[in-house]
């Protein structure tokens, strides 16, 4: 469907959720997960000021590199890997068709 991309989110129990995400709503991955009621807190509301939407990028999409703010916040997260990102900083665009992510463990 136009204006929609498909993304796959693996939750903390290993279950894969196939979601549709609109590209015209200025949404990010944290918000997409929340709208499907996946267990992503998004405590700070998407300002990269908490790390409750920590996720791993599984597919080989090239994302914009994390900002210094995002890196700073990942410093306060746990289980951080090379493919760690904050979901709130991943804007939904057409380039992300087929994106696959996995939710990081909660603290």
**Residues near another protein (CB under 8 A):** 43-45, 47, 49-50, 52, 68, 71-72, 74-76, 78-80, 105, 107
Query: Closest approach of Cβ 82 to another protein, in Å?
Result: 9
Q: Which residues contact 4 (CB under 8 A, 6 or more apart)?
A: 20, 21, 22, 23
Please list the alpha-helical segments (H only) found in the chain.
29-35, 68-74
Give the residue with the Cβ less far from another protein, 71 or 100.
71
Closer to another protein by Cβ: residue 6 or 76: 76
Nearer CB in complex with another protein: 28/52:
52
Alpha-carbon distance of 27 to 74, in angstroms, equals: 21
**Helix or strand or coil: residue 42?**
coil
- State in angstroms the smallest separation of the CB of 101 from another protein: 20
- What sign results for the dihedral spanned by CA atoms 77, 53, 59, 64? negative
Q: Provide the minimum distance between the beta carbon of 98 and another protein in the complex, in angstroms, as a whole number.
A: 29
Please report how close the Cβ of residue 36 comes to another protein at its closest, in angstroms.
15
């Amino acid at each position: 469907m136009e204006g929609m991309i498909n993304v796959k989110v693996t939750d903390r129990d290993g279950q894969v959720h196939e979601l549709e995400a609109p590209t015209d709503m200025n949404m990010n991955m944290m918000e997409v997960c929340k709208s499907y009621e996946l267990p992503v807190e998004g405590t700070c509301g998407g300002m990269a000021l908490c790390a409750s939407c920590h996720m791993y990028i599984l597919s080989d999409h090239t994302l914009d590199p994390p900002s210094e703010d995002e890196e700073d916040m990942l410093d306060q997260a746990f289980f951080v890997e090379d493919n760690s990102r904050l979901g709130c900083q991943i804007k939904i665009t057409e380039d992300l068709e087929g994106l696959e992510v996995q939710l990081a463990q909660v603290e």
